[in-house]
Amino acid sequence: MNECDELLGNLEMQIAAPDASPEQILDIVAALPSSTVQGDRTLPAWLSHRLHEVASHHGGQIPLHGRLFGQWLHYVFPRECPFPHVMGATRPQTAEAWVTENQQDFAANSSDMQHYISLAVPHQRRATETGELEEVLSLESAMWTMEEELVVSRSPSTPVSQGLGTSMAPWIRGIMFLGAVVSASIALVRSVDPKLGGALGSTEKYFV
């Protein structure tokens, strides 16, 4: 079972909307626990910065069902939420298919593994060793990209109902007025001369 689905479902129930503000998401996510992350934690500043980047990309609100938010969730829950690669950027294969294509084993032997284990570990600068935000972002989220992919695209244009109300209202009123005049005229003619009224469009048939 994909535990990220459960985490996203929890967000959906609490937000009850397709998008939310960064502040609302930060409050909810900080309290969410997972099998490897404890709840009620304080999220680091770089995660907040990345989330606000997503919000700025969308004009202030964050779509819950998009690649950018899924990417952010990966960094919040790295063992639960998979990294959302851009569509077409990867080509998943089974181990058997990879072996067939490359004509070599996908597993390392014991001597190769021991060789790499014995090598000295090179020093890697940690994010806690620097106070510069850009360097922290590059260290903590090296794979981050601002390429969005949305499940549903919604434009910020005027809703359809409002557009119809302003542009079509005069036409609708005119048609309704014309229909009322015609109906009143037919009723008047029928009341004066039933035969003439029948000729004006009655669908009734009489058998004599």
Q: What is the mean pLDDT of each run of 10 residues along the chain (208 residues)?
A: 93 96 97 94 95 97 97 97 94 91 90 93 69 83 95 57 46 68 66 53 43
pLDDT value at residue 188: 65
The token pair at 177 is 């007025």
**22 and 54 part of one domain:** yes
Is residue 139 within 8 A of residue 125, CB to CB? The reply is: yes
- The verdict on residue 174 lying in a domain is yes
One domain, residues 41 and 134? yes
> What range does the domain containing 21 cover?
3-92+129-140
What is the tally of structural domains in the chain?
2
Tell me, what DSSP letter sits at residue 63? E
CB atoms within 10 A of CB 151: 10
Question: Are 47 and 133 in the same domain?
Answer: yes
Residue 43 lies in a domain: yes
Claim to verify: residue 7 and residue 52 sit in the same structural domain? yes
> Do 50 and 75 contact (CB within 8 A), yes or no?
yes
**Domain-embedded: residue 15:** yes
DSSP alpha helices (H): ranges in the chain? 3-15, 22-31, 45-57, 67-76, 95-102, 110-118, 133-140, 160-167, 169-192, 194-199
Among residues 206, 202, 73, the alpha carbon closest in space to that of 144 is found at 73
Tell me: the pLDDT tens digits for 154-198? 664 333 344 444 444 455 666 776 776 667 666 665 665 555 445
